[in-house]
Chain A
Amino acid sequence: MSDFLGYVLTGLGIGAGFALVGSGLVAIYRVTGVVNFAQGAFAVIAAMLTSSLLTAGLPHVLSESLAVVVAAVVGVLVGVVAIGKPGTDPGTSLIVTLGLGVFAYAVEIVLWGDQPRSFPGLSGVATIGGARIQAHYLLIIAVTVPVFAALALFFTRTDLGKALSACASNKYAARVVGIDVRRMGLLAFALGGALGGLAGVLTTPVQQVTFDSDVTLIVNGFAAAVLGGLTRPAVALAGGLLLGVTQTLIAGYGGGAYQLEVALLLMLTVMIVQAARTGPVREAAR
Protein backbone atom coordinates (compact mmCIF):
# COMPACT_ATOMS: atom_id res chain seq x y z
CA MET A 1 0.00 0.00 0.00
CA SER A 2 2.80 2.40 0.89
CA ASP A 3 4.45 1.46 -2.41
CA PHE A 4 1.28 2.45 -4.21
CA LEU A 5 1.02 5.80 -2.42
CA GLY A 6 4.67 6.47 -3.18
CA TYR A 7 4.11 5.80 -6.88
CA VAL A 8 1.03 8.01 -6.96
CA LEU A 9 2.78 10.96 -5.29
CA THR A 10 5.84 10.59 -7.50
CA GLY A 11 3.53 10.30 -10.49
CA LEU A 12 1.77 13.50 -9.51
CA GLY A 13 5.12 15.26 -9.40
CA ILE A 14 6.09 13.95 -12.84
CA GLY A 15 2.60 14.65 -14.16
CA ALA A 16 2.74 18.24 -12.96
CA GLY A 17 5.68 18.74 -15.30
CA PHE A 18 3.66 17.31 -18.21
CA ALA A 19 0.74 19.53 -17.23
CA LEU A 20 2.94 22.63 -17.36
CA VAL A 21 4.24 21.76 -20.82
CA GLY A 22 0.70 20.87 -21.88
CA SER A 23 -0.84 24.08 -20.57
CA GLY A 24 1.85 26.02 -22.43
CA LEU A 25 0.71 24.28 -25.61
CA VAL A 26 -2.89 25.11 -24.74
CA ALA A 27 -2.12 28.78 -24.03
CA ILE A 28 -0.57 29.17 -27.48
CA TYR A 29 -3.07 27.01 -29.38
CA ARG A 30 -6.17 28.71 -27.97
CA VAL A 31 -5.10 32.16 -29.06
CA THR A 32 -3.18 31.49 -32.27
CA GLY A 33 -4.47 28.13 -33.50
CA VAL A 34 -0.85 26.98 -33.71
CA VAL A 35 0.33 23.68 -32.25
CA ASN A 36 3.76 24.77 -31.05
CA PHE A 37 6.26 21.98 -31.65
CA ALA A 38 9.04 24.08 -30.13
CA GLN A 39 7.31 23.81 -26.74
CA GLY A 40 9.72 21.18 -25.39
CA ALA A 41 12.70 23.34 -26.34
CA PHE A 42 11.57 26.04 -23.88
CA ALA A 43 11.94 23.48 -21.08
CA VAL A 44 15.33 22.26 -22.29
CA ILE A 45 16.73 25.77 -22.69
CA ALA A 46 15.52 26.84 -19.25
CA ALA A 47 16.94 23.70 -17.64
CA MET A 48 20.34 24.04 -19.35
CA LEU A 49 20.51 27.73 -18.49
CA THR A 50 19.68 27.04 -14.85
CA SER A 51 22.52 24.53 -14.61
CA SER A 52 24.93 27.14 -16.06
CA LEU A 53 23.73 29.88 -13.73
CA LEU A 54 24.03 27.62 -10.68
CA THR A 55 27.53 26.59 -11.77
CA ALA A 56 28.38 30.28 -12.10
CA GLY A 57 27.48 30.70 -8.45
CA LEU A 58 24.02 32.23 -8.61
CA PRO A 59 21.66 31.05 -5.87
CA HIS A 60 18.66 28.76 -6.38
CA VAL A 61 15.29 30.44 -7.05
CA LEU A 62 17.09 33.36 -8.72
CA SER A 63 18.68 31.02 -11.27
CA GLU A 64 15.42 29.22 -11.94
CA SER A 65 13.45 32.49 -12.16
CA LEU A 66 15.93 34.01 -14.62
CA ALA A 67 15.75 30.86 -16.74
CA VAL A 68 11.94 31.02 -16.83
CA VAL A 69 12.09 34.67 -17.92
CA VAL A 70 14.57 33.77 -20.68
CA ALA A 71 12.25 30.94 -21.76
CA ALA A 72 9.42 33.48 -22.03
CA VAL A 73 11.61 35.69 -24.21
CA VAL A 74 12.53 32.69 -26.37
CA GLY A 75 8.78 32.04 -26.58
CA VAL A 76 8.20 35.52 -27.97
CA LEU A 77 11.01 35.05 -30.51
CA VAL A 78 9.50 31.76 -31.66
CA GLY A 79 6.17 33.55 -31.88
CA VAL A 80 7.60 36.38 -33.97
CA VAL A 81 9.04 33.92 -36.47
CA ALA A 82 5.97 31.64 -36.46
CA ILE A 83 3.10 34.15 -36.57
CA GLY A 84 4.85 37.49 -37.14
CA LYS A 85 3.99 37.72 -40.80
CA PRO A 86 0.34 38.77 -41.09
CA GLY A 87 -1.87 36.22 -42.76
CA THR A 88 0.29 33.18 -41.96
CA ASP A 89 -2.06 30.23 -41.59
CA PRO A 90 -1.70 28.06 -38.45
CA GLY A 91 -0.59 25.03 -40.48
CA THR A 92 2.37 26.93 -41.87
CA SER A 93 3.20 28.29 -38.43
CA LEU A 94 3.16 24.74 -37.06
CA ILE A 95 5.84 23.69 -39.56
CA VAL A 96 7.85 26.79 -38.67
CA THR A 97 7.78 25.84 -34.97
CA LEU A 98 8.89 22.31 -35.89
CA GLY A 99 11.86 23.81 -37.74
CA LEU A 100 12.67 26.12 -34.84
CA GLY A 101 12.56 23.14 -32.45
CA VAL A 102 15.22 21.36 -34.52
CA PHE A 103 17.21 24.59 -34.82
CA ALA A 104 17.12 24.81 -31.01
CA TYR A 105 19.04 21.47 -30.88
CA ALA A 106 21.93 23.09 -32.70
CA VAL A 107 21.95 26.11 -30.41
CA GLU A 108 21.74 23.91 -27.31
CA ILE A 109 24.61 21.64 -28.45
CA VAL A 110 26.81 24.65 -29.24
CA LEU A 111 26.09 26.29 -25.89
CA TRP A 112 25.86 23.30 -23.56
CA GLY A 113 27.19 20.24 -25.40
CA ASP A 114 25.40 16.97 -26.03
CA GLN A 115 25.82 15.38 -22.61
CA PRO A 116 22.98 15.06 -20.10
CA ARG A 117 22.82 17.79 -17.48
CA SER A 118 21.16 18.11 -14.16
CA PHE A 119 21.36 20.19 -11.05
CA PRO A 120 20.40 19.57 -7.45
CA GLY A 121 16.86 20.34 -6.41
CA LEU A 122 15.21 20.01 -3.04
CA SER A 123 17.18 17.25 -1.33
CA GLY A 124 15.94 14.76 1.17
CA VAL A 125 13.21 12.19 1.38
CA ALA A 126 9.79 12.77 2.81
CA THR A 127 7.66 10.11 4.43
CA ILE A 128 3.93 10.41 3.84
CA GLY A 129 1.57 7.70 5.05
CA GLY A 130 4.46 5.24 5.20
CA ALA A 131 5.53 6.03 1.65
CA ARG A 132 9.00 7.42 1.14
CA ILE A 133 9.32 9.80 -1.79
CA GLN A 134 11.91 12.31 -2.89
CA ALA A 135 11.01 15.68 -1.43
CA HIS A 136 11.59 17.39 -4.78
CA TYR A 137 8.47 15.75 -6.23
CA LEU A 138 6.44 17.47 -3.52
CA LEU A 139 8.10 20.76 -4.44
CA ILE A 140 7.03 20.30 -8.08
CA ILE A 141 3.42 19.77 -6.96
CA ALA A 142 3.61 22.68 -4.52
CA VAL A 143 4.70 25.05 -7.28
CA THR A 144 2.44 23.74 -10.03
CA VAL A 145 -0.85 23.95 -8.14
CA PRO A 146 -0.64 27.70 -7.37
CA VAL A 147 0.62 28.37 -10.91
CA PHE A 148 -2.52 26.79 -12.33
CA ALA A 149 -4.68 28.69 -9.85
CA ALA A 150 -3.01 31.93 -10.93
CA LEU A 151 -3.54 31.02 -14.59
CA ALA A 152 -7.23 30.43 -13.98
CA LEU A 153 -7.56 33.79 -12.24
CA PHE A 154 -5.59 35.52 -15.00
CA PHE A 155 -7.86 34.19 -17.76
CA THR A 156 -11.16 34.79 -15.96
CA ARG A 157 -10.56 37.87 -13.79
CA THR A 158 -8.24 40.19 -15.71
CA ASP A 159 -9.05 42.18 -18.85
CA LEU A 160 -5.83 41.02 -20.48
CA GLY A 161 -6.74 37.40 -19.78
CA LYS A 162 -10.25 38.01 -21.11
CA ALA A 163 -8.81 39.58 -24.24
CA LEU A 164 -6.70 36.46 -24.77
CA SER A 165 -9.82 34.33 -24.34
CA ALA A 166 -11.65 36.64 -26.73
CA CYS A 167 -9.02 35.99 -29.41
CA ALA A 168 -9.50 32.27 -28.79
CA SER A 169 -13.28 32.62 -29.00
CA ASN A 170 -13.68 34.86 -32.06
CA LYS A 171 -10.71 36.45 -33.79
CA TYR A 172 -12.80 38.59 -36.10
CA ALA A 173 -14.82 40.06 -33.26
CA ALA A 174 -11.60 40.65 -31.33
CA ARG A 175 -10.36 42.78 -34.21
CA VAL A 176 -13.70 44.58 -34.38
CA VAL A 177 -13.43 45.74 -30.76
CA GLY A 178 -9.84 46.80 -31.34
CA ILE A 179 -7.84 43.97 -29.79
CA ASP A 180 -4.48 43.49 -31.52
CA VAL A 181 -4.79 39.76 -32.24
CA ARG A 182 -1.17 39.36 -33.33
CA ARG A 183 0.15 41.01 -30.17
CA MET A 184 -2.10 38.74 -28.10
CA GLY A 185 -0.63 35.78 -30.00
CA LEU A 186 2.88 36.87 -29.04
CA LEU A 187 1.76 37.27 -25.43
CA ALA A 188 0.43 33.71 -25.59
CA PHE A 189 3.81 32.55 -26.89
CA ALA A 190 5.51 34.33 -23.97
CA LEU A 191 3.16 32.59 -21.56
CA GLY A 192 3.79 29.25 -23.28
CA GLY A 193 7.54 29.85 -23.07
CA ALA A 194 7.37 30.63 -19.36
CA LEU A 195 5.23 27.56 -18.62
CA GLY A 196 7.54 25.32 -20.66
CA GLY A 197 10.56 26.85 -18.94
CA LEU A 198 9.01 26.30 -15.54
CA ALA A 199 8.44 22.63 -16.40
CA GLY A 200 12.11 22.35 -17.37
CA VAL A 201 13.57 23.92 -14.24
CA LEU A 202 11.21 21.99 -11.95
CA THR A 203 11.71 18.50 -13.40
CA THR A 204 15.43 18.55 -14.23
CA PRO A 205 16.64 17.74 -10.66
CA VAL A 206 14.73 14.43 -10.81
CA GLN A 207 15.04 13.77 -14.52
CA GLN A 208 18.27 14.88 -16.18
CA VAL A 209 17.94 16.74 -19.41
CA THR A 210 19.66 16.44 -22.79
CA PHE A 211 19.21 18.58 -25.88
CA ASP A 212 16.68 16.11 -27.28
CA SER A 213 14.63 15.72 -24.08
CA ASP A 214 12.07 17.96 -25.69
CA VAL A 215 10.63 14.99 -27.60
CA THR A 216 9.61 13.20 -24.40
CA LEU A 217 8.30 16.43 -22.91
CA ILE A 218 6.23 17.43 -25.90
CA VAL A 219 4.76 13.98 -26.43
CA ASN A 220 3.68 13.83 -22.80
CA GLY A 221 2.62 17.47 -22.75
CA PHE A 222 0.62 17.04 -25.94
CA ALA A 223 -1.00 13.88 -24.58
CA ALA A 224 -2.04 15.86 -21.50
CA ALA A 225 -3.32 18.80 -23.52
CA VAL A 226 -5.18 16.81 -26.15
CA LEU A 227 -7.48 15.39 -23.48
CA GLY A 228 -9.02 18.86 -23.28
CA GLY A 229 -9.05 19.31 -27.03
CA LEU A 230 -5.97 21.58 -26.70
CA THR A 231 -8.21 24.35 -25.42
CA ARG A 232 -8.82 23.73 -21.72
CA PRO A 233 -5.93 24.35 -19.30
CA ALA A 234 -7.74 22.72 -16.39
CA VAL A 235 -8.16 19.50 -18.34
CA ALA A 236 -4.50 19.67 -19.34
CA LEU A 237 -3.64 19.72 -15.63
CA ALA A 238 -5.86 16.72 -14.94
CA GLY A 239 -4.52 14.97 -18.04
CA GLY A 240 -0.92 15.59 -17.08
CA LEU A 241 -1.41 14.30 -13.55
CA LEU A 242 -3.29 11.22 -14.79
CA LEU A 243 -0.55 10.51 -17.30
CA GLY A 244 2.21 10.93 -14.72
CA VAL A 245 0.53 8.63 -12.22
CA THR A 246 -0.25 6.00 -14.89
CA GLN A 247 3.33 5.99 -16.11
CA THR A 248 4.79 5.72 -12.61
CA LEU A 249 2.45 2.87 -11.71
CA ILE A 250 3.37 0.99 -14.88
CA ALA A 251 7.05 1.62 -14.24
CA GLY A 252 6.71 0.57 -10.61
CA TYR A 253 4.76 -2.64 -11.12
CA GLY A 254 5.81 -3.51 -14.64
CA GLY A 255 8.66 -2.30 -16.79
CA GLY A 256 10.11 1.18 -16.78
CA ALA A 257 10.83 1.08 -20.48
CA TYR A 258 7.24 1.66 -21.59
CA GLN A 259 6.57 5.14 -20.22
CA LEU A 260 6.62 7.04 -23.50
CA GLU A 261 4.57 4.33 -25.17
CA VAL A 262 1.87 4.82 -22.55
CA ALA A 263 1.69 8.52 -23.41
CA LEU A 264 1.56 7.81 -27.14
CA LEU A 265 -1.13 5.18 -26.71
CA LEU A 266 -3.23 7.49 -24.52
CA MET A 267 -2.83 10.36 -26.97
CA LEU A 268 -3.76 8.19 -29.93
CA THR A 269 -6.80 6.75 -28.16
CA VAL A 270 -8.04 10.19 -27.11
CA MET A 271 -7.56 11.63 -30.56
CA ILE A 272 -9.36 8.75 -32.26
CA VAL A 273 -12.24 8.89 -29.80
CA GLN A 274 -12.51 12.68 -30.11
CA ALA A 275 -12.31 12.58 -33.88
CA ALA A 276 -15.06 9.97 -33.98
CA ARG A 277 -17.27 11.82 -31.51
CA THR A 278 -16.88 15.53 -32.06
CA GLY A 279 -15.39 15.71 -35.57
CA PRO A 280 -18.62 15.59 -37.57
CA VAL A 281 -20.45 17.74 -35.01
CA ARG A 282 -17.85 20.47 -35.31
CA GLU A 283 -18.02 20.32 -39.06
CA ALA A 284 -21.79 20.63 -38.98
CA ALA A 285 -21.63 23.58 -36.60
CA ARG A 286 -19.64 25.63 -39.07
Chain B
Amino acid sequence: MTLVDVSSLTVRYSGATALDGVSLSLDKSEMVALIGANGAGKSTLVKALSGLVKADAGRVTVDGRLAQVPEGREVFADLSVDDNLRLGGWRNGRRGRDTSAIYDLLPALGPLRRRDAGTLSGGQQQMVAIGRALMARPDVLVIDELSLGLAPLVVQSLVDHLRTLHRERGLALLLIEQNARLALSLCSRAYVMEAGRIVLVGDAAVLASDERVTAAYLGGHYE
Protein backbone atom coordinates (compact mmCIF):
# COMPACT_ATOMS: atom_id res chain seq x y z
CA MET B 1 0.00 0.00 0.00
CA THR B 2 2.20 2.80 -1.25
CA LEU B 3 0.77 6.18 -0.39
CA VAL B 4 3.51 8.45 -1.65
CA ASP B 5 5.89 7.46 -4.41
CA VAL B 6 8.64 9.75 -5.58
CA SER B 7 10.82 8.35 -8.32
CA SER B 8 14.00 9.85 -9.78
CA LEU B 9 12.76 13.37 -9.05
CA THR B 10 14.93 16.23 -10.30
CA VAL B 11 14.15 19.88 -9.62
CA ARG B 12 16.30 22.80 -10.74
CA TYR B 13 16.02 26.43 -9.74
CA SER B 14 17.29 28.66 -12.56
CA GLY B 15 20.12 26.28 -13.33
CA ALA B 16 21.04 25.15 -9.80
CA THR B 17 19.99 21.59 -9.06
CA ALA B 18 18.01 21.35 -5.81
CA LEU B 19 16.93 17.72 -6.18
CA ASP B 20 18.99 15.27 -8.18
CA GLY B 21 17.20 12.00 -8.92
CA VAL B 22 15.49 11.58 -5.54
CA SER B 23 13.43 8.43 -4.94
CA LEU B 24 11.36 7.98 -1.80
CA SER B 25 8.27 6.08 -0.83
CA LEU B 26 5.87 6.03 2.05
CA ASP B 27 3.33 3.36 2.89
CA LYS B 28 -0.09 3.79 4.41
CA SER B 29 0.15 4.68 8.13
CA GLU B 30 3.91 4.73 8.01
CA MET B 31 6.03 7.28 9.84
CA VAL B 32 9.10 8.23 7.89
CA ALA B 33 11.80 10.75 8.70
CA LEU B 34 13.82 12.79 6.25
CA ILE B 35 16.97 14.19 7.75
CA GLY B 36 19.79 16.24 6.34
CA ALA B 37 21.64 19.51 6.73
CA ASN B 38 20.47 22.95 5.62
CA GLY B 39 20.26 23.24 1.84
CA ALA B 40 20.19 19.48 1.30
CA GLY B 41 16.94 19.89 -0.67
CA LYS B 42 14.43 18.74 1.96
CA SER B 43 12.14 21.74 1.63
CA THR B 44 12.20 21.52 -2.16
CA LEU B 45 11.06 17.91 -1.86
CA VAL B 46 8.20 19.03 0.40
CA LYS B 47 7.13 21.66 -2.12
CA ALA B 48 7.27 19.11 -4.93
CA LEU B 49 5.04 16.78 -2.90
CA SER B 50 2.44 19.54 -2.54
CA GLY B 51 2.73 20.50 -6.20
CA LEU B 52 4.20 23.90 -5.37
CA VAL B 53 7.29 23.36 -7.54
CA LYS B 54 7.43 21.54 -10.85
CA ALA B 55 9.52 18.47 -11.53
CA ASP B 56 12.18 18.85 -14.23
CA ALA B 57 12.45 15.07 -14.41
CA GLY B 58 10.98 12.09 -12.61
CA ARG B 59 7.57 12.01 -11.02
CA VAL B 60 5.61 12.32 -7.79
CA THR B 61 2.57 10.13 -7.17
CA VAL B 62 0.37 10.64 -4.14
CA ASP B 63 -2.42 8.10 -3.70
CA GLY B 64 -4.58 9.89 -1.16
CA ARG B 65 -4.72 13.29 0.47
CA LEU B 66 -1.53 15.01 1.46
CA ALA B 67 -1.42 18.03 3.72
CA GLN B 68 1.58 20.08 4.59
CA VAL B 69 2.81 21.89 7.69
CA PRO B 70 5.22 24.30 6.04
CA GLU B 71 8.58 25.35 7.40
CA GLY B 72 8.28 28.40 9.61
CA ARG B 73 4.64 27.47 10.32
CA GLU B 74 3.25 30.13 7.94
CA VAL B 75 0.00 30.73 9.77
CA PHE B 76 -2.38 33.44 8.53
CA ALA B 77 -1.16 35.94 11.10
CA ASP B 78 -4.05 38.41 11.03
CA LEU B 79 -6.77 35.78 10.89
CA SER B 80 -8.20 34.10 13.97
CA VAL B 81 -7.13 30.58 14.94
CA ASP B 82 -10.57 29.32 13.96
CA ASP B 83 -10.37 30.97 10.53
CA ASN B 84 -6.90 29.49 10.05
CA LEU B 85 -8.33 26.05 10.72
CA ARG B 86 -11.37 26.66 8.53
CA LEU B 87 -9.22 27.59 5.56
CA GLY B 88 -7.28 24.38 6.04
CA GLY B 89 -10.44 22.67 4.83
CA TRP B 90 -10.66 24.94 1.78
CA ARG B 91 -10.44 22.06 -0.69
CA ASN B 92 -13.19 20.09 1.09
CA GLY B 93 -15.99 22.48 0.27
CA ARG B 94 -18.31 24.13 2.75
CA ARG B 95 -19.36 20.93 4.56
CA GLY B 96 -15.77 19.92 5.20
CA ARG B 97 -14.89 23.12 7.04
CA ASP B 98 -16.33 22.35 10.45
CA THR B 99 -13.49 22.89 12.89
CA SER B 100 -14.93 21.25 16.02
CA ALA B 101 -13.15 17.92 15.49
CA ILE B 102 -9.78 19.69 15.56
CA TYR B 103 -10.48 21.12 19.01
CA ASP B 104 -11.16 17.59 20.23
CA LEU B 105 -7.85 16.42 18.77
CA LEU B 106 -5.86 19.44 19.88
CA PRO B 107 -7.67 20.71 23.00
CA ALA B 108 -5.01 23.35 23.63
CA LEU B 109 -6.34 25.30 20.64
CA GLY B 110 -9.84 25.61 22.14
CA PRO B 111 -9.23 28.62 24.37
CA LEU B 112 -7.29 30.32 21.56
CA ARG B 113 -9.89 30.01 18.83
CA ARG B 114 -10.76 33.72 18.67
CA ARG B 115 -7.17 34.97 18.95
CA ASP B 116 -5.29 36.22 15.90
CA ALA B 117 -2.80 33.51 14.98
CA GLY B 118 0.01 36.07 14.71
CA THR B 119 -0.23 36.85 18.43
CA LEU B 120 0.45 33.26 19.53
CA SER B 121 3.71 31.71 20.70
CA GLY B 122 5.79 29.60 18.35
CA GLY B 123 4.53 26.33 19.80
CA GLN B 124 0.92 27.45 19.64
CA GLN B 125 1.41 28.54 16.02
CA GLN B 126 2.89 25.13 15.20
CA MET B 127 -0.21 23.58 16.75
CA VAL B 128 -2.39 25.84 14.54
CA ALA B 129 -0.38 24.83 11.47
CA ILE B 130 -0.81 21.15 12.33
CA GLY B 131 -4.53 21.63 13.01
CA ARG B 132 -4.90 23.51 9.73
CA ALA B 133 -3.23 20.65 7.87
CA LEU B 134 -5.44 18.08 9.64
CA MET B 135 -8.53 19.99 8.46
CA ALA B 136 -7.77 18.70 4.97
CA ARG B 137 -8.44 15.20 6.39
CA PRO B 138 -5.11 13.97 5.10
CA ASP B 139 -3.91 10.41 4.71
CA VAL B 140 -0.39 11.68 5.03
CA LEU B 141 0.90 14.70 6.90
CA VAL B 142 4.15 16.27 5.75
CA ILE B 143 5.79 18.37 8.46
CA ASP B 144 8.68 20.57 7.45
CA GLU B 145 10.71 21.26 10.60
CA LEU B 146 8.56 20.33 13.56
CA SER B 147 10.93 21.38 16.31
CA LEU B 148 12.72 24.40 14.86
CA GLY B 149 12.71 27.27 17.35
CA LEU B 150 10.53 25.48 19.89
CA ALA B 151 11.24 24.62 23.51
CA PRO B 152 11.88 20.89 24.19
CA LEU B 153 8.72 20.53 26.32
CA VAL B 154 6.59 22.01 23.55
CA VAL B 155 8.18 19.67 21.03
CA GLN B 156 7.46 16.72 23.30
CA SER B 157 3.79 17.64 23.51
CA LEU B 158 3.56 17.97 19.71
CA VAL B 159 5.25 14.58 19.29
CA ASP B 160 2.73 13.03 21.69
CA HIS B 161 -0.11 14.47 19.61
CA LEU B 162 1.41 13.04 16.44
CA ARG B 163 1.79 9.61 18.02
CA THR B 164 -1.87 9.69 19.03
CA LEU B 165 -3.00 10.72 15.56
CA HIS B 166 -0.92 7.93 14.08
CA ARG B 167 -2.26 5.35 16.48
CA GLU B 168 -5.92 6.37 16.42
CA ARG B 169 -6.38 7.45 12.82
CA GLY B 170 -3.64 5.60 10.99
CA LEU B 171 -2.18 8.91 9.87
CA ALA B 172 1.01 8.54 7.85
CA LEU B 173 3.76 11.04 8.53
CA LEU B 174 6.72 12.37 6.61
CA LEU B 175 8.78 14.31 9.11
CA ILE B 176 11.51 16.63 7.91
CA GLU B 177 13.73 17.40 10.87
CA GLN B 178 17.03 19.00 11.72
CA ASN B 179 16.92 17.26 15.06
CA ALA B 180 17.81 13.79 13.81
CA ARG B 181 17.59 12.19 17.24
CA LEU B 182 13.97 13.29 17.56
CA ALA B 183 13.11 12.19 14.03
CA LEU B 184 14.71 8.76 14.41
CA SER B 185 13.00 8.09 17.72
CA LEU B 186 9.54 8.97 16.41
CA CYS B 187 9.69 7.35 12.97
CA SER B 188 10.17 3.76 11.88
CA ARG B 189 12.12 4.45 8.73
CA ALA B 190 14.36 7.27 7.59
CA TYR B 191 16.03 8.82 4.58
CA VAL B 192 19.19 10.89 4.78
CA MET B 193 19.68 13.66 2.21
CA GLU B 194 22.86 15.41 1.16
CA ALA B 195 23.26 17.95 -1.64
CA GLY B 196 20.02 17.05 -3.38
CA ARG B 197 20.45 13.27 -3.21
CA ILE B 198 19.28 10.48 -0.94
CA VAL B 199 22.50 9.05 0.48
CA LEU B 200 21.13 6.61 3.06
CA VAL B 201 17.86 4.89 3.69
CA GLY B 202 16.82 2.33 6.24
CA ASP B 203 15.25 1.35 9.51
CA ALA B 204 15.33 4.29 11.93
CA ALA B 205 16.82 2.25 14.77
CA VAL B 206 19.59 0.96 12.52
CA LEU B 207 20.36 4.44 11.17
CA ALA B 208 20.44 5.82 14.70
CA SER B 209 23.43 3.62 15.38
CA ASP B 210 25.01 4.03 11.95
CA GLU B 211 28.42 5.63 12.30
CA ARG B 212 27.95 8.00 9.37
CA VAL B 213 24.66 9.24 10.78
CA THR B 214 25.84 9.62 14.36
CA ALA B 215 28.93 11.49 13.23
CA ALA B 216 27.12 13.90 10.93
CA TYR B 217 23.71 14.40 12.54
CA LEU B 218 23.67 13.14 16.11
CA GLY B 219 27.01 14.34 17.42
CA GLY B 220 26.23 17.99 18.08
CA HIS B 221 22.84 17.60 19.68
CA TYR B 222 21.92 18.04 23.30
CA GLU B 223 20.69 15.28 25.62
A166 at the binding interface (Cβ < 8 Å): yes
Task: From B87-95, B184-192, B203-211, give the one contacting chain A.
Answer: B87-95
Task: From A128-136, A175-183, A241-249, A269-277, give the one contacting chain B.
Answer: A175-183
Contact A170 B77 (CB under 8 A): yes
A206 at the binding interface (Cβ < 8 Å): no
Q: Tell me, rounded to whole Å, the shortest Cβ–Cβ distance linking B132 to chain A.
A: 7
Known pairs A177-B88, A177-B132; A172 contacts B78 (CB<8 A) = no
Task: List, in ascending order, chain A residues with CB within 8 A of B90's CB.
Answer: 159, 163, 177-179
Docked complex Cα distance between A178 and B68 (Å): 10
Task: List, in ascending order, chain A residues with CB within 8 A of B50's CB.
Answer: 176
A169 at the binding interface (Cβ < 8 Å): yes
Task: List, in ascending order, chain B residues with CB within 8 A of A166's CB.
Answer: 76, 79, 83, 87
Contact A165 B78 (CB under 8 A): yes
Task: List, in ascending order, chain A residues with CB within 8 A of B79's CB.
Answer: 162, 165-166, 169
**Quick one: CB contact mask for B28-56 with A, threshold 8 Å, 1 for yes?**
00000000000000000000001010000
Among A162, A174, A177, A179, contact of B136 (Cβ-Cβ < 8 Å): A177
Docked complex Cα distance between A176 and B77 (Å): 15
Task: List, in ascending order, chain A residues with CB within 8 A of B91's CB.
Answer: 177-178
Among B68, B76, B136, contact of A165 (Cβ-Cβ < 8 Å): B76
Q: Tell me, rounded to whole Å, the shortest Cβ–Cβ distance linking A97 to chain B.
A: 25
**Quick one: CB contact mask for B64-82 with A, threshold 8 Å, 1 for yes?**
0000101000111111000
Contact B70 A173 (CB under 8 A): yes
Among B75, B77, B97, contact of A159 (Cβ-Cβ < 8 Å): B97
Known pairs A162-B86, A177-B90, A179-B87; A169 contacts B97 (CB<8 A) = no
Among B70, B78, B86, B94, contact of A176 (Cβ-Cβ < 8 Å): B70
In terms of DSSP, what is the predominant structure of the interface of chain A? helix
Docked complex Cα distance between A159 and B74 (Å): 19
Contact A170 B75 (CB under 8 A): yes
Contact B86 A159 (CB under 8 A): yes
Docked complex Cα distance between A174 and B77 (Å): 12
B74 to chain A: closest residue by CB: A173
Task: List, in ascending order, chain A residues with CB within 8 A of B83's CB.
Answer: 162, 165-166
Contact A175 B52 (CB under 8 A): yes
Among A162, A165, A172, contact of B74 (Cβ-Cβ < 8 Å): A172
Q: Tell me, rounded to whole Å, the shortest Cβ–Cβ distance linking B188 to chain A.
A: 26
Task: List, in ascending order, chain B residues with CB within 8 A of A172's CB.
Answer: 70, 74
**Quick one: CB contact mask for A138-170 with B, threshold 8 Å, 1 for yes?**
000000000000000000000100110110011
Task: List, in ascending order, chain A residues with CB within 8 A of B87's CB.
Answer: 159, 162-163, 166, 174, 177, 179
Q: Which residues between 84 and 129 of chain B lie within 8 Å of chain A, taking CB atoms?
A: 86-88, 90-91, 94, 97
Task: List, in ascending order, chain A residues with CB within 8 A of B136's CB.
Answer: 177-178
Contact B68 A176 (CB under 8 A): yes
Q: Tell me, rounded to whole Å, the shortest Cβ–Cβ distance linking B79 to chain A.
A: 6
Contact B77 A169 (CB under 8 A): yes
Task: List, in ascending order, chain B residues with CB within 8 A of A178's CB.
Answer: 90-91, 136
B93 to chain A: closest residue by CB: A159
Task: List, in ascending order, chain B residues with CB within 8 A of A163's CB.
Answer: 87, 90
Q: Tell me, rounded to whole Å, the shortest Cβ–Cβ distance linking B144 to chain A.
A: 10
A-B contact pairs, 14 of them (CB 8 A): A159-B86, A159-B90, A159-B97, A162-B79, A162-B86, A165-B78, A165-B79, A166-B76, A169-B77, A173-B76, A174-B76, A175-B52, A176-B68, A177-B91
